[in-house]
Amino acid sequence: MKNTIFIASIIGALVLTSCNKDDNMDTTINVNYPAAYVVNGEDATVSVIKLSTNEVTATIPLMGTGTDMIMWPHHISSHENHLAIGVPGMDLSAGHSGLMTAGMTGKLLVIDAMTGAIVKNINLPLMNHNSIYSPNGTEIWVPQMDEMNSKVLVYDATTNALKNTINTGMMSAEVTFSSDGTKAYVANGDDDEVTVINVATKAIITTIAVGDNPVGAWTGSNGQMFVDNEDGQSISVLKVADNTIAQTIALGFMPGIASHNGTKSELWVSDPMAGKVHYWTYDTAMGMWMHGGAFNTGAGAHAISFTIDGNTAYVSNQTANTVSAVNVTNHTVTKTINVGKKPNGIVIKM
């Protein structure tokens, strides 16, 4: 068990200007265009960036009041016209090392992507790093972070009924899926392992030893998953086909997130402390990822999301309170977009 630390960042969020659930329902927006949705943790809002102009066209308030209160929303996923957001209830922008979760609860939040209306707000027994739609969109999978008894809860996306509870490892953070939709991956930070789950049967297939303090196994379109090991300062490259490690990439910095661009055959990894993004290209002759370079985005560089054509990336900069729009071909920032406070998760809907 890693040394625990106390995170005392929640109180400050109480002084933020809030909006109740009815206020949010009355907020009039109509996002009928391709957009990037950016979760602002400290503000408890979602910034909507119109892709054609790279301008913030709407801000969706989430905070609410009482039992509906949303504090420190984190990562986001999408299915059709809905967005699912994980709400751990604490600030995770400084990393996960030594995280203490005793007594912390979370929420599963679903909002309408076009109107910003809150569709569901489900209280969870434990805090959750993310909430993610299953590959076919019929379920929402939610990890439960605990020092000893982590698990994944599987909800019916239509009825909200809890369908399955899957026991995982210690301090389970992000849950993700392989690009073919057959396997789910849960990063267990205190076990230094990743749990692999059969999506159809909900049975655990295996556990894979990775680096020190893994946070997420990020999806590649090339039959690989990329695990960011915070304390190990490395990326474990997992092969989906046989559940083995193909490569361990030494970084020399604590990673924020790893993101694979299949169109450009590049792997990007954010470097929060330096405000940079590093990228790797795949050398087919050597059968491994090779470092290609790095470029500046903004302080606290974190989430990375690519457009479908792979030509543009959006990077959230948590400390700078901005999002960088990046030309993928020449690795240059084309625009810096002001958003809310401590932006983290990003999802793009076309």
User: Following DSSP, what letter does each residue of 222-290 receive, concatenated?
Assistant: TSEEEEEETTTTEEEEEETTTTEEEEEEE-SS--S-EEEETTTTEEEEEETTTTEEEEEEEETTTTEEE
Cα 225 from Cα 289, distance rounded (Å): 13
Residues 339 and 309 in one domain: yes
| SS3 (DSSP) at 163 | strand
pLDDT number for residue 94: 82
What's the confidence (pLDDT) of residue 295?
98
Q: What is the largest CA-CA distance in the chain?
A: 58
Which regions of the chain are under pLDDT 50? 1-26
Residue 112: how many other CB atoms lie within 10 Å: 16
Q: Collect all residues with Cβ–Cβ distance below 8 Å to 203 and sequence separation of at least 6.
A: 197
Q: Where are the alpha helices (DSSP H) in the chain?
A: 21-26
Q: Which two tokens stand for residue 236?
A: 């474990």
35 in a domain, yes or no?
Answer: yes
Note the pLDDT of residue 65.
Answer: 66
What is the β-pairing status of strands 234-239 and 224-229? antiparallel
pTM: 0.91
| Beta carbons of 142 and 150 less than 8 angstroms apart | no
| Cα distance between the two ends of the chain | 42
Expressed as residue numbers, the domain containing 212 is 170-254
Residue 80 lies in a domain: yes
Last residue of a domain, one of 235, 254, 273: 254
Q: Give the pLDDT confidence score for residue 108 in this predicted structure.
A: 97
Residue 163 belongs to a domain? yes
Q: Would you state the pLDDT for residue 97?
A: 66
Residue 339 placed within a domain: yes
Res 11: pLDDT: 30
> Using one digit for the tens of pLDDT, what is the confidence trace for 82-113?
999 999 999 998 887 666 677 789 999 999 99
The amino acid that residue 49 corresponds to is: I
CATH number at residue 97: 2.40.10.480
Tokens in use for 121? 């707000």
Supply the pLDDT for residue 133: 98
Whether residue 305 is contained in a domain is answered as yes
Q: Is 22 in the same domain as 159?
A: yes
**138 and 43 in contact (C-beta within 8 Å)?**
no
In this structure, what token pair is assigned to residue 33?
């265009």
> Do 124 and 160 reside in the same domain of the chain?
yes
Residue at 219 is within a domain: yes
Residue that is written with structure tokens 């379109």 in the block: 221
